[in-house]
Structure 1
Amino acid sequence: MKQQLLAITAATLLFVACNNEEKTSAESSLKDSSGAKTEIKDDGKKEQAWIPVDSAMMNKAWAESMTLGEPHKMLAKSAGTWTADITMWMADGAPPTKSTGSTVNTMLFGGLYQQSKHKAIMMGMPFEGMSTVAYDNTEKKYVSTWIDNMGSGILVMSGDWDNATKSLNMSGKMKNPANGLECTEREVFKPVDDNHQTLEMYGPDPKTGKEYKMMEIQYTRKK
């Protein structure tokens, strides 16, 4: 009887020890590269556990977040009024349509954000749009929002500066109002010199869904 009791006790201790070891191993595997733990929710998704911060850490982080850097200085170079020569293609291989417009760029909140207001005639109708562009010091990325009078949604894009091509490459997703499918919009912004810039926009072809160049805008600073 004693031998059976000892055997059961030993087996129980072994099970608990193994279970604790597996738990410790699982907890270790749930740490990301920064050492922060993640938690697995009921739906199976991982969620990073909150990392406590003190006032000194918070003040330092916010100071760095609001500090102007070279990306903000680059955006500030575009401040002013620009004329726009616009070329559009309604589908891949379709003949181009041309129009003209104007853009006014203004830096906001001490130079942290660039606000752009656009006016043009597109497809015979007055067009107005507004964008906000920022360099997010925390995310280390450029971020933009776009709204206009030919839709009711907000397009959010993000991207990086490419030193090789000297261009800003941004992309984001939106729903196509015609078929309800999510699609990717992409743009390439390239400063040519202090008085000239180009913007190329890419999106899905209406028939095939394959990416094509929808629009090209040549900007010239208004003197």
Structure 2
Amino acid sequence: MKNLFFAVSTAFLFIACDKVKMDVKTGKEADSLTSKEWKPVDSATANKAWMDYATPGEMHKMLAKSDGTWTGENTMWMENGGKPMTTTSEATNKMVFDGRYQVGEHKGNFMGMPFEGMSIVGYDNAKKKFVSTWIDNMGTGIMNMEGEWNSSKKSIEFKGKMTDPTRPGENCDVREVFTIVDDNHHVMEMYGPDSKTGKEYKTMEIKYTRKK
């Protein structure tokens, strides 16, 4: 059944990709594919590639270890060198789609207002990188990041961009370092640009403890 699913998926993608090729030739499509020469892939190679891409591995198992509910001790800085603000939060993580992604639901408060956020974290087998998205009730955009696992530090350093509402139409660079202290303690550090200088500084730190 699984092989049939991948065969059908591969056939569908061949048709879709072939359509993109035809459109590129006629000048009706203009995307990243036009900058590279299209290289054909035989069906056996494509089928294996898609199976490898779709099969959860060791990094997904590592993500699954943080399933459950966590309490957070949050420290935030509105500007570099500014007075820190402290709050508490709670996060509940759950692997979905047969262990391929982890969805996190986050609740707390920010400057006296209720805060809710949702994260989706996965490991892209093809890119060999962790991928992450974030949305919350304090904005209307989606933050996307990618990161690599550092086994010596037991951490993932994510890098990406998010909307800068103070500069309409522009994004700003963001960076997150997620460290696994042990099975019951994690630390998340977020970095972004200072509004006055544009230089990177630590905007937030959350110390997570597994809720028993």
Tell me the TM-score normalised to structure 1 length.
0.78
* AA in 2 matched with 1:165: K
- Of 84, 96, 104, the match for 1:96: 84
Q: Deviations over 1:39-93 (max 9, x none)?
A: 9x9x9x9611222223212211111011221111110010000011100011011
Q: Which residue of 2 aligns with 1:113?
A: 101
Q: Which amino acid counterpart does residue 157 of structure 2 have in structure 1?
A: N
CA distance in structure 2 between the aligned counterparts of 1:62 and 1:175, rounded to whole angstroms? 33
In 1: Cα distance, 2:157 partner to 2:183 partner:
19
How many angstroms apart in 2 are the aligned matches of 1:217 and 1:51? 45
Answer whether contact 2:68 2:210 (CA < 8 A) is retained: yes
Amino acid at match of 1:218: K
Q: Could you say which residue in structure 2 is the equivalent of 1:193?
A: 182
Distance 2:56 2:167 in 1: 42
Q: Supply the AA of the counterpart residue of 1:139.
A: K
- Root-mean-square deviation (Å): 1.7
Aligned to 1:58: 46
Please, which of 49, 56, 64 is the counterpart of residue 37 of structure 2? 49
Distance (Å, rounded) in 1 between the aligned partners of 2:149 and 2:186: 15
Q: How does 1:131-146 map to 2 (within 5 A)?
A: 131-146=119-134
* Whole-Å separation in 2 of the counterparts to 1:83 and 1:125: 18
Q: Which of 161, 164, 173 is equivalent to 1:184?
A: 173
State the one-letter code of the partner of 2:182.
Answer: D
Counterpart of 1:110 in 2: which secondary structure?
coil
Segments ≥4 residues shifted beyond 4 Å: none
Hey, what's the Cα distance between the residues in 2 that align with 1:93 and 1:137?
Answer: 39
1:182 is matched by which residue type in structure 2? N
Q: 1:152 aligns with which of 140, 144, 154?
A: 140
SS at match of 1:94: coil
Match of 2:63 among 68, 75, 90: 75
Q: How many equivalent pairs are there?
A: 182
Which residue in 1 is equivalent to 2:200?
A: 211
Residue 6 of structure 1: aligned partner: none
Shift of residue 164, structure 1, vs aligned partner: 2.8
- Per-residue displacement from partner, 1:162-212 (whole Å, max 9, x unpaired)? 123221000101231012342101000001111110000000111111100
Unaligned runs of 5+ in 2: 1-24
- Kindly provide the CA deviation profile for residues 7-48 of structure 1, in whole angstroms up to 9, marking residues without a partner as x: xxxxxxxxxxxxxxxxxxxxxxxxxxxxxxxx9x9x9x9611
Structure 1 unmatched ranges of 5 or more: 1-38
TM-score, with structure 2 as normaliser: 0.82
**Are the counterparts in 1 of residues 143 and 163 from structure 2 also a CA contact under 8 Å?**
no
Instruction: Choose from 44, 59, 75 the match for 1:87.
Output: 75
Identity percentage of aligned residues: 58
Letter in 1 for 2:123: Y
Distance (whole Å) between structure 1 residues aligned to residue 151 and residue 70 of structure 2: 24
What amino acid maps onto 2:87 in structure 1?
S
